[in-house]
């Protein structure tokens, strides 16, 4: 059953307001507990961690919703696919565009946190633009591939949601990569780490490492190759699956 568009709009608005309220509450506690928390602890330990978590949440939210919405890209548009002779990729473009609009709303949460705690990333923040384009490019091939597979196998969206729940905890969102001392191989084997880091680093005023750019480019090229292979072979069956 498809919900009306205003339901999704209300859900997104409530989510953004809830995140903003959480950040403001944390900021209030930080400001009012000056007697307990020293200035050094705030500026050296707490503030950088808040910036790190806020930026990580922002990027992870975009990446996870691109994947989850991509799995349902063709399923929720089944009626249009059966009735209109439009390019099938249009339905994936719609998913990517809607998530880009949501990002434009959610990014203000990070901006407020950055201004409140005095974060100034400088001109390095401009590197977030090519990083965002790479994330959207990955969102496109993921939508084509997972949307196609989900139309045929309806358990794929549930499996993707379960994988993302686990990936959230093994990806540096709440914790920093340097905390994984002696087990960096687990970090480097996680593709979500590279996808998150290339956009989070510029938001924090850091330049992403070259190996991170290369890793994301490899993921993008391989992903598009696999997605086009499956999509070219099975797209003509999609109208019968949805």
Q: Model confidence over 135-191: pLDDT tens digits?
A: 999 999 999 999 999 988 888 989 999 999 899 988 888 888 877 776 777 788 889
- Tens digit of pLDDT for each residue in 90-111? 888 999 999 999 888 888 877 8
Structure tokens at 129: 């633009």
Domain residue spans of the chain:
5-241
| pLDDT at position 187 | 82
Closest to 71 (Cα-Cα) out of 143, 167, 168: 143
| pLDDT at position 176 | 83
pTM across the whole model: 0.78
CA distance 164 to 95: 18
Q: CB 210: neighbour CB atoms within 10 A?
A: 8
- Residues whose CB falls within 8 Å of the CB of residue 190, separated by 6 or more in sequence, listed in order: 167, 170, 171
The torsion region of residue 92 among left (phi > 0), alpha (psi -120 to 50) and beta comes to alpha
DSSP 3-state of 190: coil
How many residues in total does the chain contain? 242
- Residues whose CB falls within 8 Å of the CB of residue 132, separated by 6 or more in sequence, listed in order: 103, 199
CA distance 20 to 54: 10
């Amino acid at each position: 059953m498809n919900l009306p568009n205003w339901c999704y709009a209300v859900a997104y608005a409530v989510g953004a307001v809830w995140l903003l309220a959480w950040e403001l509450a944390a900021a209030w506690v930080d400001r009012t507990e000056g007697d307990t928390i020293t200035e050094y602890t705030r500026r050296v330990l707490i503030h950088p961690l808040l910036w790190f978590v806020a930026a990580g949440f922002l990027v992870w939210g975009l990446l996870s919703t691109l994947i989850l919405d991509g799995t349902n890209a063709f399923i929720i548009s089944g009626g249009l696919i059966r009735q209109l002779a439009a390019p099938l990729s249009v339905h994936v473009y719609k998913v990517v565009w809607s998530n880009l609009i949501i990002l434009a709303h959610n990014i203000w949460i990070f901006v407020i946190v950055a201004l409140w705690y005095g974060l100034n990333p400088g001109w390095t923040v401009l590197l977030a633009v090519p990083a965002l384009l790479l994330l959207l490019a990955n969102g496109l091939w993921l939508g084509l591939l997972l949307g196609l597979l989900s139309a045929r196998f309806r358990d794929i969206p549930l499996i993707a949601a379960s994988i993302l729940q686990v990936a959230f905890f093994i990806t540096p969102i709440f914790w920093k990569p340097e905390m994984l001392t002696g087990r960096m191989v687990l970090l480097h084997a996680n593709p979500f780490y590279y996808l998150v880091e290339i956009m989070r680093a510029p938001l924090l005023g850091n330049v992403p490492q070259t190996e991170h750019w290369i890793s994301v480019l490899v993921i993008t090229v391989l992903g598009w190759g696999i997605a086009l292979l499956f999509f070219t072979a099975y797209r003509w069956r999609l109208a019968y699956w949805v």
